[in-house]
Structure 1
Amino acid sequence: MKVAFSSDNHFDLNKVDLINVLPRQAAYLAGLGLDAYIINGDLFNDFNRSLEYVRQLQEAVGGSLTVRFLAGNHDMGFGVTYEELESSIDPLYFHNKFLDFGDYRIIGNNGWYDYSFDEDRHSMSEIEHFKHAFWYDRRIEQPMSDPERMGIVAEQVNNQIKIAGNRKLILVNHFVPKIDFIREIPNCNTRFEILNAFLGSSQFSDIAQANQLQAVVFGHLHRHPNPLTVGKTTYYSAAVGYNTHRVHEWSGTDIFTEWVQRLVVLDDNRLAQNGSL
């Protein structure tokens, strides 16, 4: 097995010229000898634009590898309903699906959040007010609360694990799976601590460690922490992040170089070196 992962490319906000960049990405991915390239969400602020990009990329690489994508909260913000997100809307859409490569099974789920990373610093009314007044996700309509939605996600992931048999499992989702990545943020301004409520859920790491998953690959957090191994599970962040006139999260200014640098590539050897087998 050899699979690459990337998240939070934000092509629209980063003003990327895909006419030039997409062929370079396709050639680079083909040259890696991959079985698959999986995108963890946040390609565009529009689900249909994200889907079209993935279709073009799959066409560009041809049959040499499989391309799949998950929807991040930005992809969910326009052009798609909650019901469509929970359906098999397109073969390239990887939510609540899996891919098998030898002894490995890669489970895909968009994920969500349940405010657990806030650690009771804010009241429910404060969290809900912030979300509906300021947070991007106010654009996303859903027929339940955020904790209830995360409960559905957890049930979906657990069900996928149950049917996987004895395969070695890798979970791919958009949101942060472990609070350690939140607590490590340096010089955190207390004014923005409320954002932690919307970053992910400890349920991901609880599930991963209870079932001894090989790896969890995530995005959403626009930082670049080193992989973290806890027990038999290694956590990888694949986020690229923003490089706009207001926010500079890249090490350089070139999207292709940054994308290559942030790409997470997993194969049998790397997982073995991390103590995951």
Structure 2
Amino acid sequence: MGKLAVISDLHADINHLDEELYFIRDYLEKLNVTHVHFAGDVANKVEKTLEVVYFFDQKIDTTFHWGNHEMADIDKQTNFEDFNDPHFLNFQSKKLSDSTVLLGVNGWYDYSFVPRAEEKEYRRKKNLYWYDRFIDRIGSDPQITEYICRRLKETLQTIPDTKKVILSTHFVPKEDFIIQHSEKYERWNQLNAFLGSKKFGAVLDEFTNVEQVVFGHTHHRFTKQMLQQTVYHCRPFGYYYEWYLTRSFILKNHLADTFNPLKARTLLKHYTNAFAEYKKRYILNELQEGMVLLDY
């Protein structure tokens, strides 16, 4: 019996995680975690991502795959899906036990979470303001997604039906985890185009041995859901200005009447040292909410 910890959207650089990485690693050891998997967006730079992965691997067996943030730092096309590193788990499975394997897949998006989305228009929107405009990748988003879904299916077909599959991906595979905003926030719905793909989830539905799926990217935490035969987990770590501990810091210290993540970054600049200490004290509380633990 082992224990898997899956962490998505760690954003170690943006979140200024230094000493906290030691706290997190030590905590996972105390929980008897036997394998750590990072489900993308460990950091904005590949070098930093590898640094974090190797740091955890010193104590606990560790694997990872990309999120969109690392992809902006990739300059060789083959490195998107076939990066040469023994810890990189993409379209590859790792044996966790005699009965269970971990399968990693980066994933991608195709605008399918926005009804009647026109490819040309959403490509324009992406290149105008979405982070992924910095990613230099050959092919349109629907073409990339089509390739990934085809390769996902081929990979799953190589895994015996008798093996239980825990699948990790970065992007959202099911519309059940897409938030539809209304009224004055309705314009935010256009960002759903870049969150994931219905086709990816449809491929997973074809394989009854895919028992658990873990993902992030959306930065919204959800309770686990059983969809068809599979349990889906979405509990990303997220940005510091989205955290529960940040909300607590601001409200307990009466720095604002209400908590607004979009205003928190500017506000916290005036309390850098105090927030840094508060973060160290409560980072493990945040981790408990922002990771997925699975026994195998």
SS at match of 1:116: coil
Which amino acid in structure 1 is aligned with residue 289 of structure 2? Q
Query: For residues 61-210 of structure 1, what are the structure 2 equivalents within 5 Å?
Result: 61=59, 65-100=60-95, 101-120=97-116, 122-165=117-160, 166-183=162-179, 189-210=185-206
1:229 equivalent in alignment to 2:226: yes
- Between structure 1 and structure 2, the one with the greater Rg is 2
Q: Which moved more, 1:207-216 or 1:134-143?
A: 207-216
Whether the 8 Å CA contact 1:223–1:249 is kept in 2: the answer is no
Corresponding residue of 2:36:
37
| Cα separation, 1, equivalents of 2:138 and 2:220 | 31
1:261 equivalent in alignment to 2:289: yes
| Cα separation, 2, equivalents of 1:156 and 1:88 | 16
- The CA deviation at 1:182 is 0.6
Corresponding residue of 1:272:
none
Corresponding residue of 1:249:
242
| Cα separation, 2, equivalents of 1:198 and 1:119 | 13
- The CA deviation at 1:188 is 7.6
Question: Alpha carbons of 1:132 and 1:9: their partners in 2 closer, same or farther (altered >3 Å)?
Answer: same
- The CA deviation at 1:42 is 0.6
Whether the 8 Å CA contact 1:40–1:218 is kept in 2: the answer is yes
Question: Alpha carbons of 1:54 and 1:157: their partners in 2 closer, same or farther (altered >3 Å)?
Answer: same
SS at match of 2:68: coil
Compute the TM-score of the two structures, normalised by the length of structure 1.
0.87
| Cα separation, 2, equivalents of 1:41 and 1:50 | 9
Whether the 8 Å CA contact 2:39–2:216 is kept in 1: the answer is yes
- The CA deviation at 1:159 is 1.5
**Cα displacement string for residues 143-163 of structure 1 (whole angstroms, at most 9, x for unaligned residues):** 111111111211221122111
- The CA deviation at 1:102 is 2.0
Which amino acid in structure 1 is aligned with residue 70 of structure 2? D
| Cα separation, 1, equivalents of 2:29 and 2:48 | 23
- The CA deviation at 1:51 is 1.1
Compute the TM-score of the two structures, normalised by the length of structure 2.
0.82
| Count of aligned pairs between the two proteins | 257
SS at match of 1:225: coil
Whether the 8 Å CA contact 1:107–1:160 is kept in 2: the answer is no
SS at match of 1:191: helix
Q: Output the aligned Cα RMSD.
A: 1.8
Q: Percent identity?
A: 32
SS at match of 2:245: coil
1:26 equivalent in alignment to 2:25: yes
Which amino acid in structure 1 is aligned with residue 244 of structure 2? S
- The CA deviation at 1:79 is 4.5
- The CA deviation at 1:185 is 5.8
